[in-house]
C-alpha cells in the first residue's frame, strides 16, 4: 500500500457521483474552508475551487466515473490523486456515512498522509484498455452461448455433437440435431448471436492490433516472444501494465498481478491469507491463460509443473509457474529483452 504524503496549502476531498459531487477543502492547518454539494460539472468544480487553487491537491475515490475529473485536473495543472477503494473503505469506515462526511474524511486522509493511492491510468491509452476489457466481456458471453448449446444437448440426452462449435462452419447443421421446435428455435438464437459476436470480436482485435502498433509495438513484440503469449494475451498484459517503471521490484509487480498470496501474521503466528481482491484481475487471468498455453508449447514447462505437482499439487504447481512467468515478464520489460527459454528454466 502506498500513501500520498506530499504537503500542500489546500486539500480537496471529493465524494463523486454521476449527478452530484460533494467537495470539502481543508487548509494546511486543518480548517474547513469549503464544504459544498455541487452538480457534477467541470465549470462548477473549477469555480468552487478557484479561491484555493494555488497549492491545491484533489483526491477522489476510485469509482467508475473518475475519468473526467482526472483529465480536467491534468489540463488545468491541478495535482490529482486517485484513492484505492478497498483500502479507503477499511481506513475511513465509520458509524455515520453520507456524502458530507465522506468528502471530509477524504480531505482528512490527504492532509494526514494516509490517503492510499491507486494508479491514475493516462488518458492517451485508457480508452484502448477499456475497449480491450470490453472485448473480453464479449468473449465471455460467446463462451456462455457455446456452453448453453452443449448443455441443452446433454439436457435431452442426445448424441454428442461431433464437431467443435467454436468454428462457424461446424454450426450449420446443429439446429437439426434437436427435434423439439422450441428447443431448435432456442439453439438458432444462440447460433445467430454467436455469428454476430464472432464478427464483432474479429473487428475489435484488428482495431486493437492497429492501436498497439501506435502506442508501444516493441513491448508488445517482446511479450509475444514468450511461448504461450499470443496477440490477445500480449495486448492484455501490455495495456494492463502500461509502464513497468511504476513497479519498484518484481515482487511488487507480481503482487499487483495477484500472482502471490499475502500472509496474515501476528505475534509470530500465521492466520492464513488476505487481499485476494487487491490487484489487477485482468493480469491474473492473462498469466493463468499464458501458463496453460505455455505447457502445450514447451515440454520444459509441462515437466516443471509435473515436478512441482508431486510436492504441492497441480493447482499450486501452475501458480508457481505463473509467478515465475510474472517475474520473467517484469525483467523482460525492464531490461527491454526478449524471452530466453534456457535462462527461464535454468536451475
Cα 40 to Cα 67: distance, rounded to the nearest angstrom: 13
- Cβ(38)–Cβ(48) below 8 Å: yes
Enumerate the domain spans of the chain: 3-118, 124-215, 247-262+280-344
Cα 213 to Cα 205: distance, rounded to the nearest angstrom: 13
117: left (phi over 0), alpha (psi -120 to 50) or beta: beta
Q: How many CB atoms lie within 10 A of CB 153?
A: 19
* Distant-in-sequence, close-in-space partners of 208: CB < 8 Å, separation ≥ 6: 128, 131, 132, 135, 235
Residue-level length of the chain? 347
pTM of the predicted model as reported, rounded to 2 decimal places: 0.90
pLDDT in tens, the chain (347 residues): 789 999 999 999 999 999 999 999 999 999 999 999 999 999 999 999 999 999 999 999 998 999 999 999 999 999 999 999 888 876 666 777 889 999 999 999 999 999 999 999 999 999 999 999 999 999 999 999 999 999 999 999 999 988 899 999 999 999 999 999 999 999 999 999 999 999 999 999 999 999 999 999 999 999 999 999 999 999 999 999 999 999 999 999 999 999 988 877 888 888 777 777 789 999 999 999 999 999 999 999 999 999 999 999 999 999 999 999 999 999 999 999 999 999 999 86
**pLDDT tens, residue by residue, 68-87:** 999 999 999 999 999 998 88
Q: In what order do the strands lie in the sheet with 3-4?
A: 3-4, 115-118, 79-83, 56-61, 10-16, 20-27, 32-39
**Three-state SS sequence of 42-84:** HHHHHHHHHHHCCCEEEEEECCCCCHHHHHHHHHHCCEEEEEC
CA atoms within 13 A on the CB side of 122: 8
Cα 103 to Cα 33: distance, rounded to the nearest angstrom: 13
DSSP state string for 159-215: PPPSS-TTSGGGGTTSGGG--SHHHHHHHHHHHHHHHHHHHHHHHHHHHHHHHHHHH
CA atoms within 13 A on the CB side of 103: 23
| pLDDT at residue 93, rounded to an integer | 66
| pLDDT at residue 92, rounded to an integer | 67
**CATH hierarchy code of domain 3-118:** 3.30.420.10
| pLDDT at residue 262, rounded to an integer | 80
Cα 266 to Cα 270: distance, rounded to the nearest angstrom: 7
N-term to C-term CA, the chain = 33
**pLDDT tens, residue by residue, 47-57:** 999 999 999 99
Cα 105 to Cα 89: distance, rounded to the nearest angstrom: 11
- Dihedral over alpha carbons 91, 94, 96, 101 (to 10 degrees): -20
User: Looking only at Cα atoms, what is the longest distance across the chain?
Assistant: 77
Amino acid at each position: 500500500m502506498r500513501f500520498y504524503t506530499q504537503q500542500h496549502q489546500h486539500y480537496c476531498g471529493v465524494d463523486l457521483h454521476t449527478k452530484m459531487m460533494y467537495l470539502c477543502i481543508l487548509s494546511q492547518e486543518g480548517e474547513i474552508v469549503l464544504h459544498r454539494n455541487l452538480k457534477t460539472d467541470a465549470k462548477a468544480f473549477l469555480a468552487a475551487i478557484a479561491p484555493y487553487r494555488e497549492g491545491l491537491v484533489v483526491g477522489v475515490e476510485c469509482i467508475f466515473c473518475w475519468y473526467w475529473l482526472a483529465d480536467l485536473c491534468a489540463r488545468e495543472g491541478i495535482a490529482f490523486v486517485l484513492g484505492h477503494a478497498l483500502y479507503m473503505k477499511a481506513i475511513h469506515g465509520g458509524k455515520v456515512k453520507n456524502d458530507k462526511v465522506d468528502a471530509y474524511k477524504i480531505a482528512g486522509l490527504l492532509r494526514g498522509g494516509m490517503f492510499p493511492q491507486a494508479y491514475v491510468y493516462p488518458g492517451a491509452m485508457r480508452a484502448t484498455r477499456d475497449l480491450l476489457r470490453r472485448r473480453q466481456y464479449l468473449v465471455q458471453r460467446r463462451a456462455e452461448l457455446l456452453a448453453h448449446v452443449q448443455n441443452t444437448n446433454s439436457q435431452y440426452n442426445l448424441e454428442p455433437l461431433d464437431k467443435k462449435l467454436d468454428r462457424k462452419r461446424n454450426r450449420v447443421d446443429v439446429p437439426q440435431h434437436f427435434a423439439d421446435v422450441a428447443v431448435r428455435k432456442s439453439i438458432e438464437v444462440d447460433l445467430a448471436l454467436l455469428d454476430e459476436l464472432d464478427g464483432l470480436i474479429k473487428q475489435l482485435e484488428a482495431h486493437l492490433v492497429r492501436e498497439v502498433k501506435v502506442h508501444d509495438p516493441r513491448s508488445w513484440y517482446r511479450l509475444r516472444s514468450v511461448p504461450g503469449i499470443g496477440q490477445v494475451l500480449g495486448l492484455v498484459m501490455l495495456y494492463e501494465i502500461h509502464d513497468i517503471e511504476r513497479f519498484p521490484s518484481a515482487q511488487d509487480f507480481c503482487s499487483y498481478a495477484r500472482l502471490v498470496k499475502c500472509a496474515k501474521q501476528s505475534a509470530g503466528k500465521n492466520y492464513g491469507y488476505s487481499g485476494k481482491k487487491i490487484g489487477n484481475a485482468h493480469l491474473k487471468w492473462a498469466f493463468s491463460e499464458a501458463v496453460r498455453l505455455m505447457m502445450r508449447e514447451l515440454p520444459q514447462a509441462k515437466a516443471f509443473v509435473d515436478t512441482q505437482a508431486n510436492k504441492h499439487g497441480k493447482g499450486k504447481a501452475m501458480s508457481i509457474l505463473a509467478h515465475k512467468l510474472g517475474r520473467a515478464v517484469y525483467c523482460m520489460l525492464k531490461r527491454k529483452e526478449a524471452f530466453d527459454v534456457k535462462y527461464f528454466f535454468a536451475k
